[in-house]
Structure 1
Amino acid sequence: MSTWLLIDGFNLAYRCFFAIPELTRSDGFPTNALHGWVKTIWKLEDQEKADGILVFFDLGGAQDRLALLPDYKAQREEMPEALSQQIPVIKELTRLMGLGGIEIEGVESDDLLAAQAVALANDGHTVKIVSADKDFAQTVTDNISMLLPPPSANPRLGWRAMGPAEVVTKFGVTPDKIADYLALVGDAADNIPGVAGVGPKTASKWLNEHGSLEGVIANAAVLKPDRFRLIVAADADRLRINLQLTTFNPNLPVQPAVKPPADGTSLVARLRELEMKSATIEAERRYGASQGELF
C-alpha cells in the first residue's frame, strides 16, 4: 500500500516563520515562512518518499470543545501579522506543489488530521504525521507514526520518527492512554487545566496501575501520594470533561487517498513573482518547468 504524510499546517508554518530571519520581497511583503515552507516540504519529500502529502489547516472555531470549556485556547496570542499575511500564499504554494489542502470551518484541523490518519491506516496505508504536537501521540500505532521536527538546540538530529515504543519512552504510557494522560496533567497549549500538582511521572504511574482515567477516578481513595485522593475525587467531573477535550473525534470526513497533480509552471511563476530566487531554481529542476530569465 501507499505511504502518506499528513502535515499539521499551522504547526509547521509557525516553525518556518520563527526559524528563518526576516525576509521580504522588494515591496516589503514578508517571505521568510514561505522560504521555510517550500524547503521543508521538499526536504520531507526527498527523505520520506511518500506517495502523497495532505496538509491540514484551521479555519477557526472549535465549537464542540468551546461548549465544554469556554476558555479553551483562550490564552493563545494572535498570530503575528507577518505570518498571517503569508498563510494564504502558503496554501496557494501547497496546492501548486501537488499537495492536498484540507480545512473545514468550525472543525479543528487536529481532529481532521487524526481522523484521516486512522482511516488511511485502517485501509492498510502507512501514515506519518508531521507535527510536534503531543496530542497526536494518541493516534500512533504500528501503521501511524509521528515525524518530529529537528530540535532548535540540535538541528543536526533531523526529523525523527516516533512510533509506539518512542511514545512509551517519552510519556511513560502507551498511545491509547495519551488522552487520559493529558486529561490528568493538563495541556497548557490548549488552556486545559489538569490536576494541580500532578506531573508526568504521577499521571503515568496512575494510568499504568489503573488502566484509564476512569480507573484512576474509581480508585481515588487509594491513590499515592495520599494528598491527591480527595482532589481527584472532587475533580472527577472536570477530569471527564478534560478527557473529551483531549480526545480526537474519529467521526469526521476524510479525503480519498489520491495525490493531486502539481502545477510546476504556475508554481515557478508564483515563486518568481515572490522573488524567491533559489526556490524558483529548485522548482524548475523538480517540476521540469521554466519561466525564462530570473529576476
Structure 2
Amino acid sequence: MGKTLLLDGFNLAFRSFYAVPELTRADGFPTNALHGWVKTIWRLRDLYPEAGVIAFFDLHGDREREALLPEYKANRTEMPEALRQQFPEIRRVTRLMGIEVIESSGVEADDLIASAARSLSEKGEESLIVSADKDLAQCVGGKVAQLLPPPTANPRLGWRTLDEAAVQEKFGVRPDQIADYLALVGDNSDNIPGLAGVGPKTASNWLRSYGTLEGIIQNSGRLKPPRFQAKVGEEKENLLRNQKLTRLTETHPVSLDPVEADVEGLKEFFSEMEMKSTAAEVEKRFGA
C-alpha cells in the first residue's frame, strides 16, 4: 500500500516566500521563495522517503465559486511582485525534481487535491495533504490525513499530522462537518461571510446537536442562544450558498502518473539561479 504527499502549492510557496529572507540572483531576480520551496520539498522527502509527491496549483481563479459570490477572495492583497516572478520557476523546478504539477484553469487546487485524495483512497492508497489550509481538513478520514507545516510564529512545533481525532480536537467538529462549520463561522481568507455573531464554539455546539447545516436550519426554533433562532431562518439562502462555497469537489479528473527526476536539468537550474549550495545537494541526493 503506497502513500502520496499532496502538496498545496500556493500555500507552501507563500510560506516559503515569507520564511526566507530576501535573496536575489546577481541580476536582481528574486530567489528566496525558490530556496524555501526546495528546502521544504527535500524536508518532506526526508520525512517520507518512500512516498510519492504531487504538487497542485491554482490557475486563473475559480469560476463556480466566483459565480456564486463575486466577492469571493476579493479581500486578498495583491501578490508581491517578487513572489509572482518566482512562481513559473517554482513550477519548473518542481517538475525537474520528479514531482508532477497538476493545475486546471478555473479550478482551485483544493478541489484538485480533494479529488486526488478520493481517487487514491478508492485504490486503497494513503494520502497526506500538505497544507495549513483549514478547508482541506474536510478531506481527512480513512486513508487521508493532513500534514500541517511548522507555524511561522512557532517553528519549533514542527510538522504536525491531523487525523480524524485531531481535526475534532482542533475544530470541535468531525471532518465531514468542516464545510458546514465554515459556512456558519465564515472564512476571512476566502472572504466568505458567516452568520453574524456566530463563532467557533456556537457553530460546533450546533453541529454536535443537529449534525449538519440543514439540520440546524430545520431546528432553528430550538437554537441557543435564542437570538439566533429567527436570524438563521432569515439567512438560510446565504448559509446554503456558503456551504456550496466551502464544500470541496472531489470529482475532478486528475492524472496521478509518476514523473522521473531530471538530474542534469536540476543541476543546470540551480546553476542558473545561482543556488550553489542547493546544486551541491543534488549530488548528495541523486548521486549524480
TM-score normalised by L of structure 1: 0.96
Report the more deviating stretch, 146-155 or 187-196: 146-155
Q: Whole-Å Cα distance in 2 between the matches of residues 50 and 66 of structure 1?
A: 39
Match runs of 1:84-233 below 5 Å? 84-233=84-233
Q: What is aligned with 1:246?
A: 246
Amino acid at match of 1:133: D
Deviations for 1:192-232, whole angstroms, at most 9, x for unmatched residues?
00000100000000001001000000011110001111111
**How far did residue 125 of structure 1 move?**
0.7
Structure 1 residue 277 corresponds to structure 2 residue 276:
yes
Amino acid at match of 2:285: R
SS of the residue 1:161 aligns to: strand
Amino acid at match of 1:31: T
- Gaps spanning 5+ residues in structure 2: where? none
Q: Are the counterparts in 1 of residues 7 and 130 from structure 2 also a CA contact under 8 Å? A: yes
SS of the residue 2:252 aligns to: coil
Q: Are the counterparts in 2 of residues 151 and 157 from structure 1 also a CA contact under 8 Å? A: yes
Q: Are the counterparts in 1 of residues 98 and 262 from structure 2 also a CA contact under 8 Å? A: yes
SS of the residue 2:66 aligns to: helix
Q: Whole-Å Cα distance in 1 between the matches of residues 271 and 18 of structure 2?
A: 23
Q: Are the counterparts in 2 of residues 51 and 259 from structure 1 also a CA contact under 8 Å? A: no
Identity %: 57
Structure 1 residue 4 corresponds to structure 2 residue 4:
yes
Q: What is aligned with 2:42?
A: 42
Structure 1 residue 14 corresponds to structure 2 residue 27:
no
Q: Whole-Å Cα distance in 2 between the matches of residues 125 and 147 of structure 1?
A: 16
**How far did residue 154 of structure 1 move?**
2.2
Q: Are the counterparts in 2 of residues 129 and 144 from structure 1 also a CA contact under 8 Å? A: yes
**How far did residue 255 of structure 1 move?**
1.5
SS of the residue 2:22 aligns to: coil
Q: What is aligned with 2:258?
A: 259
Q: Are the counterparts in 1 of residues 102 and 254 from structure 2 also a CA contact under 8 Å? A: no
Q: Whole-Å Cα distance in 2 between the matches of residues 58 and 152 of structure 1?
A: 22
SS of the residue 2:227 aligns to: helix
After TM superposition, where is structure 1 displaced by more than 2 Å over at least 4 residues in a row?
none
Q: What is aligned with 1:293?
A: none
How large is the Cα RMSD of the aligned pairs? 0.8
Deviations for 1:26-70, whole angstroms, at most 9, x for unmatched residues?
110000000001111000011022431110011112111111111
**How far did residue 157 of structure 1 move?**
1.8
Deviations for 1:174-204, whole angstroms, at most 9, x for unmatched residues?
0010000000000001100000010000000
Q: Whole-Å Cα distance in 2 between the matches of residues 102 and 244 of structure 1?
A: 23
Q: Are the counterparts in 2 of residues 264 and 288 from structure 1 also a CA contact under 8 Å? A: no
Q: Whole-Å Cα distance in 2 between the matches of residues 50 and 110 of structure 1?
A: 24
Amino acid at match of 2:162: M
